[in-house]
Amino acid sequence: MTIQPYGGALVDRVASSSEAAELRAAAAELPAVQISPWTLSDLYLIAVGGLSPLDGFMDRDAYARVVDAMMLPGGLPWSIPVVLPVSDEEAASISVGQGVALYAPDGKMAAVVDVTDVFDRDRDREAAAVFRTSDQAHPGVAAMYRMGGRCVAGPIRYVYEEDITGFPDDNLTPAQTRAAFAERGWETAVAFQTRNPIHRAHEYIQKCALEVVDGLLVHPLVGETKSDDIPADVRMECYRVLLDGYYPADRVMLSVLPAAMRYAGPREAIFHSIMRRNYGCSHFIVGRDHAGVGDYYGTYDAQKIFDQIDLDALGIEPMKFEHSFYCLRTKQMATPKTSPASMDERVFLSGTKVREMLSRGESPPEEFTRPEIAAILMKSYQARQPAG
């Protein structure tokens, strides 16, 4: 069984070598916009099909429909707007019907947008709908308000030749993951989204999921995250060590997702699932406080939002797991569904707790994470501390 891309076809907006040369040659005559790492991540994912059926940045109609109704103009569920923000000054030189050259943070040309619309971004409305808060202590809200207040829409042609992830060997496109699944004979695959090292609770729910599907795609997000999140290179070392030692090699695959983290909780859970369908997955793990931050979202809000979505249209099955813990009575991982233990016999685990322990110079115990992973995290933490 082949999982169809979202919208029916995998978008490919990567320019050929000859087309890229022509676009670069013509760029000197076009208005120029330097984009942020966040926007570069969106641009790349559009280009390789991770955000299919989008072939460019949303116009005002699509933006409004997504913000207000969580769907694209054609009716497909879609939870987070994907826009190209620009400043008022940049927008003043841009007109519908012309091209705009986009430049990556390193100054190299990244793409050309064929402009179909220029419109105002209603950031207050977007914050309330997408993030459920206008509090700029929320990292996603703060990032949105730092961006320009106007948006440029239109299809893109991608010409950037640099790897945007830092992990070129692990950055498989949707076409490549789909080919890898087929080669392994996987008819069903479950994706696991993470921005943290995998602790024992993660391992438990992944292996529960593996009991009912053919393969597991560990798909860590390596785009822009909060400053206190564990660096991507450290996380990748942890993933490799864990998968090599504790998972069946023929049933698990590691690849990075070059998306920026929004911390939009429930809405981002839908967004993450759509991308994983494009990468070829049939199932998507949704655990406790998916894509959450602070106390802005309820513990299981990211699971409940799937009850508001047409799952047939979404085309990927959410696998919902309760808060996992290490059970001191049974000496194994469990959930309230499988353990008779009282609350004081449950060791609850989270990425936040890992970071807190590391900040105190404490090595996470084996009930929390595998000892090899604890050693990597401690070494990384100690190396980042100032001398003395």
Q: What is the CATH classification number for the domain harbouring 59?
A: 3.10.400.10
Distance CA 119, CA 98 (A): 15
CB 158 within 8 A of CB 15: yes
**Is residue 332 in some structural domain?**
yes
Distance CA 178, CA 5 (A): 10
CATH of the domain at 181: 3.40.50.620
Please list the active-site residues: 195-196
Distance CA 53, CA 124 (A): 27
Residue where a domain terminates, one of 158, 186, 221: 158
Q: Average pLDDT, whole number, for the chain?
A: 94
Q: Which residue has the tokens 């490799």?
A: 240
Same domain membership, residue 86 and residue 67: yes
**Is residue 12 in some structural domain?**
no
State the pLDDT at residue 1. 59
State the pLDDT at residue 225. 81
Same domain membership, residue 150 and residue 56: yes
**Is residue 1 in some structural domain?**
no
Residue where a domain terminates, one of 123, 158, 193: 158
CB 40 within 8 A of CB 109: no
Q: What is the pLDDT of residues 14-27, one digit of tens each?
A: 999 999 999 999 99
State the pLDDT at residue 354. 74
Same domain membership, residue 307 and residue 201: yes
Measure CA of the first residue to CA of the last residue in the chain; give whole Å: 58
Residue 387 clears pLDDT 60, i.e. is over it? no
Strands (E), the chain: 32-34, 56-57, 84-86, 99-103, 109-114, 117-120, 150-158, 189-194, 215-220, 252-254, 283-286, 317-320, 325-327, 332-334, 346-348
Backbone angles phi, psi at 193, to 5 degrees: -85, 135
State the pLDDT at residue 364. 85
Same domain membership, residue 188 and residue 89: no
**Is residue 6 in some structural domain?**
no
Backbone angles phi, psi at 233, to 5 degrees: -65, -35
| Residue 223: band (very low, low, confident or very high) from pLDDT cuts 50, 70, 90 | confident
Distance CA 180, CA 172 (A): 9
Same domain membership, residue 272 and residue 172: yes
Same domain membership, residue 136 and residue 183: no
Residue 339 clears pLDDT 80, i.e. is over it? yes
Mean pLDDT of all residues in 317-326: 92
Mean pLDDT of all residues in 232-239: 94
Same domain membership, residue 97 and residue 149: yes
Question: Nearest-CA neighbor of 112 among 94, 129, 126?
Answer: 94
Residue 386 is classified by DSSP as P
Question: Nearest-CA neighbor of 300 among 272, 276, 321?
Answer: 321
Mean pLDDT of all residues in 317-323: 94
Residue 229 clears pLDDT 70, i.e. is over it? yes
Question: Which CA distances in Å does 80 have to 135, 286, 308?
Answer: 18, 17, 15
The distance of Cα 278 from the centroid of its chain, to the nearest Å, equals 12
Same domain membership, residue 209 and residue 142: no
State the pLDDT at residue 362. 85
**Is residue 9 in some structural domain?**
no
State the pLDDT at residue 359. 80
Same domain membership, residue 188 and residue 107: no
Same domain membership, residue 196 and residue 339: yes
Q: Could you list the residue range(s) of the whole structural domain that residue 313 is in? A: 168-384
Residue where a domain terminates, one of 137, 158, 179: 158
Same domain membership, residue 182 and residue 64: no
Distance CA 59, CA 155 (A): 10
61-70, 123-132, 357-366: least confidently modelled range: 357-366
Mean pLDDT of all residues in 144-165: 97
Same domain membership, residue 81 and residue 224: no
The burial of 292, by beta-carbon neighbours within 10 Å (0-12 exposed, 13-18 middle, 19 or more buried), is given as buried
State the pLDDT at residue 199. 86
State the pLDDT at residue 388. 46
Distance CA 59, CA 67 (A): 12
CB 224 within 8 A of CB 45: no
State the pLDDT at residue 369. 87
**Is residue 3 in some structural domain?**
no
Burial letters 14-38, b for 16+ CB under 10 A, else e: bbeeeebeebeeebeebbebebbeb
Residue 257 is classified by DSSP as B
How many structural domains is the chain composed of? 2
Q: What is the pLDDT of residues 43-101, one digit of tens each?
A: 999 999 999 999 999 999 999 999 999 999 999 999 999 999 999 999 999 999 999 99
32-41, 66-75, 229-238, 304-313: least confidently modelled range: 229-238
Residue 148 clears pLDDT 90, i.e. is over it? yes
Cis peptide before 318 (omega within 30 of 0): no
367 against 80, higher pLDDT: 80
Residue 347 clears pLDDT 90, i.e. is over it? no
